[in-house]
Structures are given as structure tokens and as C-alpha cells.
Amino acid sequence: MKRMTAVLAVLLLTAGQISAKIPVIGISGYTDGAGCEAGMTYIKAVRMAGGAPLIIPVTSDDAQIETVLETIDGLVMTGGEDFDPLKWYGEEPRKELGEVVPSRDEFDVKLIRAAVAKGIPVLGICRGEQLMAVAFGGSLWQDIPSQVAGNFVKHRQSPTSSAYGTHSISLEKGSSLSTILATEHTIVNSFHHQAIKDVPDGFRVAARSADGVIEAVERSGEITGTKDGKGWILGVQFHPEALVANGGNKDFLPIFQTLVWEASKK
């Protein structure tokens, strides 16, 4: 009888493992004019964390976005171009502003707002972190070198490889990010000239560079001015996917593992 009970327990456990759903993690795509794509580093990092990556093509169709969000369990908003400052946070464009792609701006804002409304866990990377300010009532420094007083860190490390960290950040004690990375100080890569200036309601700063530039934000409460499903949200200005996938730095894999874990609850 004991043996039969043990065998039954093993069979039930095995069946549960077989039927366990791998979380589908949407990755926001971008267009190069000839197609839609997302960097392989994002795809690799999601796979390494146990998720199934799904690239989401750029679209302005609300119904298509809604259908995609019914399919995915978590979302990664990727890096890329600058946002249109005049449209999204009411500032005239500075001469240092880089390329703006209006169709992607519209897509990213619609996608993240709809995901947050549904409570889908969201990880924003570089532009994806800046998007959290743009989409929910904050603003950006259009150009760190010309606008941020006292800046001295090289925030655009090109041509140095993205697999290598070049500057330090300090994580806020008690922040979700410090818990995830199990540290309050680390070294990151850096490929940006913009950064969050005004943090929107419902978010808090989770990390800064040595010159005070915001390097991460996370949910702190209810996001006002929009429907809020109260899901997990984290934005990082650096590129952990490149450190993980190209650099083999497993210290940053927990960021993606946490996203996949949160997505598994959906």
C-alpha cells in the first residue's frame, strides 16, 4: 500500500511538471523599415530565465495589441531611439535630440499602458525604462551631457562592448531591485544619452549612477491617471540582457528570472 501511494505521488508530481505552463514573455519589437525585429540578447536572456520569448511587431491597432496581451504572461520593453519630447512631455526638442520614430513611440506607449492595465508584469530596459516616465506622466532629460548639472559619468560607453560593465550604480536600500540583485552596489553597461528627469506617481527611484542620474525605477504604489492592474513593474537604464547573454554575467539573470516568476502567476 505504501509503495502504491509513493508511486501515485510520483506520477502526480510528474504530471504536474509536464503540464506546467512556460510563461510567454512578450518582447517589444522595432522596425528598420524592411521588417520588425528585436535583439537576440533579449531573446536569449528570457530563454535563460525559463520563459518563452515572443516578439511583438510594431502596430497602432488597439485590437491587435489587446489580442497579443491575451497571449503573453509578461512583457519586456526594449531599448532604442529617443522619444518625441514635444508630444509626450511638452518640451521643445533640443539640438542634441537623437532619432525619433513616431510610430514606435505610439506603439510602445499603447502597449505598456494596456499591459499595466491588465496587471501584466513589465520589465523596461533603457528606452523601455524611460518609457515608464513618458507613458505615465513623467519626463526625460533629453541629453544628459548638456542638461544634467555635475554629470561626469560616461553614460554612452560605445565603442566598448555591451558585454562589459563600465560604471557603477548604487541601489536604494530596501528596493525591489536591491533584493533581486542581492546588493546595493554593482557595475553596469551603459548606452544612453537620455534619462528619467521627473519620476511619475506610482514609481520610485531604485538606483542612481555616481553622478546622480536615475538608473532604475520600480513600482511604489498605484499608478494614477490610468487603469492600473497593480502588476510587477521594474525599469533599468542599463542593459542586463547583454551582460547576461553576451557577457555570461549571471549576476543579472535574476532580473529576468523575477520577471518570469511574476509572469508564471498570471
For the annotated catalytic residues, the residue numbers are: 126, 239, 241
Which H/E stretch holds residue 195?
strand 195-198
Alpha helices in the chain (DSSP H): 2-19, 40-48, 62-71, 85-89, 102-118, 127-135, 144-147, 176-181, 240-245, 253-264
Output b/e per residue, 128-166; b: 16+ Cβ within 10 A: bbbbbbbbbbbbbbbbbeebbeebebebebeeeebbebb
Which H/E stretch holds residue 170?
strand 167-171
CA dihedral 90, 197, 65, 120 (to 10 degrees): -150
- Taking alpha carbons only, the member of 222, 249, 5, 39 closest to residue 126 is 39
Q: Which three cell numbers stand for residue 66?
A: 489587446
Q: Cβ distance 205 to 189 under 8 Å?
A: no
Where does residue 220 fall: left (phi above 0), alpha (psi -120 to 50 degrees), or beta otherwise? alpha
Cα separation, 83 vs 99, whole angstroms? 8
User: What residue has cell string 518582447?
Assistant: 27
Cα separation, 108 vs 115, whole angstroms? 10
